[in-house]
Amino acid sequence: MGEPAIFVTGAAAGIGRATALLFAARGYHVGAYDLDEPGLERLAAEITAAGGSARTGVLDVTDAAQWRARLAEFHSATGRLDILVNNAGVLRAGAFESIDQAAYDRIVAVNLGGVIAGTRAAFEYLRDTPGAQVVNLCSASAVYGQAELAGYGATKAAVRNLTEALDLEWHRHDIRVLAIWPLFVATGMLAGVRTASTRSLGVRLTADEVAEGIWRATRRRGPLPRVHYSIGAQAKVLAAAGKYAPNQLVRAVNRIITRAR
């Protein structure tokens, strides 16, 4: 069937771009999709110059018809869909009541609605590709709700639930669904974001480190593969605390991190 194929959303910059470059360098045919067409052109040129292969297209992840069209085009060219990476996302930070309703509607539409629409549209291609995988970008900020990130964290917590449900439901189709959990990553999404938690914890991860984490996670196969993959020491500590520590302790730690009174 030829080289394996990966479809990445939000690929023009940040984690999506780093993931596209890494997988192209390691033998994947990359489908890179975003609203930023010039950014996609630069990405494709870099992949091609390095000897890789890529296909790009403009995609608004909130538009189910666009999802169907882009996936059909990609599958027509590749004949397979080994990995779907739901990376596209938007973030607004600040006091909950200070963010307008339109911004919240957009956060939910992109971060949750986009994942649902894309994963649903991709099902038939994933089902027909042996060992296919879906990678959903979550966030360690959603392990326990964080002040100033309420709307964003809520969508990522919902994506976690969706990931777990589909990993169970689609096991019979040989489709693995997993979640990647970084904390704060030095990308354009965090440009200008100054919350108590970013000041307390810092922005310590790079997009390349997250891309490498995605690569490692998608290599993990077997009878009982993990669903959740925390990226970076801070995210691993938060995930462990959320899983094993008493709820009141986790809440107290988050109050300290976010300086919530």
Active site residue 152: yes
Q: Which of 137, 48, 45 is nearest to 88 (CA)?
A: 137
pTM score over 0.85? yes
Q: Are 175 and 126 a contacting pair, CB within 8 Å?
A: yes
C-alpha to C-alpha distance for 42 and 26, rounded to whole angstroms: 19
- Count the residues in the chain: 261
pLDDT, tens only, 8-45: 999 999 999 999 999 999 999 999 999 999 999 999 99
Please check the confidence at residue 236 and state whether its pLDDT lies above 70. Answer: no
pLDDT, tens only, 71-105: 999 999 999 999 999 999 999 999 999 999 999 99
pLDDT, tens only, 177-211: 999 999 878 777 766 666 666 655 666 689 999 99
C-alpha to C-alpha distance for 139 and 83, rounded to whole angstroms: 20
Angle at which helix 37-49 crosses helix 14-25, to 10 degrees, equals 20
3-state SS, residue 209: helix
CATH 3.40.50.720 fits 5-258, yes or no: yes
* List of residues 6+ apart from 245 with CB closer than 8 A: 253
Q: Where are the domains of the chain?
A: 5-258
Q: 83-86 and 5-9 as β-strands: parallel, antiparallel, unpaired?
A: parallel
3-state SS, residue 59: coil
User: Which pLDDT score, from 0 to 100, does residue 220 have?
Assistant: 80
Active-site choice (28, 33, 152, 229): 152
